[in-house]
A and B are shown apart, each in its own frame.
Chain A
Amino acid sequence: MTALSTETPSRPAAAASPAALRARKDRNRALALLSPGLIWMALFMVLPMCMVVYVSFWTQTTFSVEPSLTTASWQRFLGSSTYLAAIGTTLRIWAIVLVATVAIGYPVALFIGLFVRNKTVQTALLVACVIPFWTSFLIRVIAWRPMLGTEGAINMILMKLGIISHPLEFLLFSEFSVLVGMTQIYCVFMVGPITFMLGRIEPSVIEAARDLGASFGTIFRRIILPLSLPGVMVGAIFVSVMVLGEFATAASLSGRKVNLLGNIIVSQVGSLKWAFAAVAGVVLTVIITAVIALALRLVDLRKEM
């Protein structure tokens, strides 16, 4: 039998304490986990962003850009009513789509997150919401044409029912069709986060409010809505970022009547107007940043999540 030693193994006095060693190890691990993401972001996000700002001040000739600095592209952009109108259109469509996705998405989320209490059914319903995403973006957008066209399903049905005598022209190749297309595509990004927040509300909290004498309307206003607002904000950020940068829906459903900032970038890049595209890109980035900053101001996500 060996006697148990109660002495601690001797250690040089200068060596770090176990706590310090552990702290250093944790720090190294955090650094190791962070660095791939940081390197990626630096190389493919921060650097290109700086490049875009830089290029927006380059001199544009017909088919090329030269790195001699000028504000010509900025002056042209900010002095043109067409481009300023594009900013207006982008903001208008963003606002309408945002409101529409909340108006359509919130009741859906309310149903899935609050009234369906079975987790399996909840998941199944959420998956059903993403089924349209099993087809490509373009198909989802173009599928609206046979629906909304003058010879399309909606006009046919309305005419057969005798509600209208002439096909409704505004349905397709208009701002309306762009709004319909975008609302459909981005609604699910609103439903998801709201459902998540609603699903986290304890059923007993709602029952408690009921027990204290509140009607369903009051409970919705005072308990459910405030508790789900962070979900609305996250959904709004998702939808905003995607709608503000949109060009494809407008390109295929507006009949070139709706010009978003995204469409300007696409057409300018297409005609090799790099400096000008860069200006539009910077403007778009500033708008998106402002919108996100505003959203984060409205709800303190750190507190709520």
Chain B
Amino acid sequence: MFACEKSINGETDVLTLSRVTRRYGANTALDGVDLVVPDNTYMALLGASGAGKTTLLRLIAGFEEPDQGEIAIHGERIDGQPPHLRDIGFVFQNFALFPHLTVAQNVEFGLRHRARAPITDDAEIRARAEAALELVGLAGFGHRGVGAISGGQRQRVALARTLVCEPRIVLLDEPLGALDANLRARMCDELRAIRERLKVSFLHVTGSETEALTMGDEVAVLAGGRIVQSDAPEMLFTAPRNAAAARHLNAWNIFPAGLCAGGAAQGEIAVRFDQIDVSPPGAVPDGRPHLAAQYLTGEFNGPTALSFFRAEDGTLLQVVDHLSTPRLPELTEGARYDLHFAPDAARQFHGAA
């Protein structure tokens, strides 16, 4: 019953943003964002806090309007339309449940009170709300007050309340941010499963690269007010197209190419944490680009260990070592080492990042 209408006449993109710009006074929060969310896709939007992720969602939902650019759903422009006529689902970070209503009344709100085509048949409303609660695993919770349920359950109510209206796309604003780690992992799986059942596109905003890579069929990186890359997770992780994208993955060392002996001399180089090897000064195998750095300290994280180095220009470099396949020598704090990597492990970026 939740099946979204199939894409119209072979059109495969639900949401299209072109050159969307939003300014607050002298601050430019979004500077010409181009983003395409395909039909039936879990899209993750990764960005640092303050990057304008929430602003982007608010523009799509219609709580704010862009200064420039166009927002379209199935090719039909929606910017300028009032939010309650846009038919877009928004799941708030703080859930934003109606505190004076029960769980069931929260879920029924949209069906009962929407301006466009409200449902008047009480039995149908109740049946659909109950089905939505069942979908999110809260069957039988309808009579409870929203103050009497846990954080994870509130998250589910917020989701059910949005999904029951069968929106054209669901926007999730850091939906897991308010949950504890255990719950977050479980909700991740469930969100994906629910979306796959409904076949509606989700646009999930997050500041956590793990969350974005785990959840997204596609991940877009928002930095400096723009989408710097939008790709499948494996593609993005292994081949970021620019330094900004690489920086957000928290897995790449980015340093000026000039630091490195035996490599290119200009632009910036990025090497993944797990693809750098360490050896005592002067013991670098032939043919591997290398740079000198001082060992600062190590951090033990369980299955992996992270070592921190400082390069000559002050850049902080990280090296990941896996407990099962250790490849680093014994390290002394304050001592100097050579860091080296395979020539094809490095990605080189030109121009400003």
Binding site for B on A (CB under 8 A): 202, 204-205, 207-215, 218, 222-223, 226-227
In the complex the two chains form, is A214's CB within 8 Å of B113's CB?
Answer: yes
Q: How far is the CB of A41 from chain B (nearest CB, A)?
A: 33
**Cross-interface CB contact of B92 among A208, A213, A218, cutoff 8 Å:** A208
Give A229's nearest chain B residue, CB to CB: B100
Chain A CB within 8 A of B165 CB:
yes
Residues of A within 8 A of B116 (CB): 213
Give B161's nearest chain A residue, CB to CB: A212
Given A207-B83, A212-B109, A214-B113, does the pair A227, B165 have CB atoms closer than 8 Å? no
How far is B61's CA from A194's CA once the two chains are assembled, in angstroms? Answer: 29
Residues of A within 8 A of B63 (CB): 207, 210-211
**Cross-interface CB contact of A218 among B83, B113, B161, cutoff 8 Å:** B113
Q: How far is the CB of B8 from chain A (nearest CB, A)?
A: 21
In the complex the two chains form, is A214's CB within 8 Å of B94's CB?
Answer: no
Given A207-B63, A208-B90, does the pair A214, B100 have CB atoms closer than 8 Å? no
Residues of A within 8 A of B165 (CB): 212-213
Chain A CB within 8 A of B89 CB:
yes
How far is B87's CA from A210's CA once the two chains are assembled, in angstroms? Answer: 10
In the complex the two chains form, is A204's CB within 8 Å of B96's CB?
Answer: yes
Interface residues in B, total, Cβ within 8 A: 27
Given A210-B83, A213-B116, does the pair A204, B100 have CB atoms closer than 8 Å? no
Residues of A within 8 A of B85 (CB): 213
Given A204-B94, A213-B84, A215-B84, does the pair A227, B115 have CB atoms closer than 8 Å? no
Chain A CB within 8 A of B88 CB:
yes
How far is B61's CA from A213's CA once the two chains are assembled, in angstroms? Answer: 11
Binding site for A on B (CB under 8 A): 61, 63, 83-85, 87-90, 92, 94, 96-100, 109-110, 113-116, 118, 158, 161-162, 165
Q: How far is the CB of B262 from chain A (nearest CB, A)?
A: 54
In the complex the two chains form, is A209's CB within 8 Å of B115's CB?
Answer: no
How far is B87's CA from A156's CA once the two chains are assembled, in angstroms? Answer: 56
In the complex the two chains form, is B100's CB within 8 Å of A213's CB?
Answer: no
Residues of B within 8 A of A205 (CB): 96-99
Q: A207-B92, A212-B161, A213-B165 are in contact. List 5 more A-B contacts (CB 8 A).
A: A205-B98, A209-B109, A210-B84, A211-B90, A214-B84
Given A202-B94, A204-B92, A204-B94, does the pair A212, B110 have CB atoms closer than 8 Å? yes
How far is B102's CA from A226's CA once the two chains are assembled, in angstroms? Answer: 13
Most B Cβ at <10 Å: residue of A207, A213, A218: A213
In the complex the two chains form, is B94's CB within 8 Å of A209's CB?
Answer: no
In the complex the two chains form, is A209's CB within 8 Å of B92's CB?
Answer: no
Given A204-B92, A214-B115, A218-B115, does the pair A209, B98 have CB atoms closer than 8 Å? yes
Residues of B within 8 A of A211 (CB): 61, 63, 83-84, 88-90, 162
Residues of B within 8 A of A202 (CB): 94, 96
Residues of A within 8 A of B96 (CB): 202, 204-205, 207-208
Given A212-B165, A213-B84, does the pair A207, B90 have CB atoms closer than 8 Å? yes
How far is B101's CA from A226's CA once the two chains are assembled, in angstroms? Answer: 10
How far is B158's CA from A215's CA once the two chains are assembled, in angstroms? Answer: 19
Give A206's nearest chain B residue, CB to CB: B96
How far is B62's CA from A213's CA once the two chains are assembled, in angstroms? Answer: 12
Residues of B within 8 A of A215 (CB): 84, 115
Given A202-B96, A204-B96, A207-B96, does the pair A213, B89 have CB atoms closer than 8 Å? no
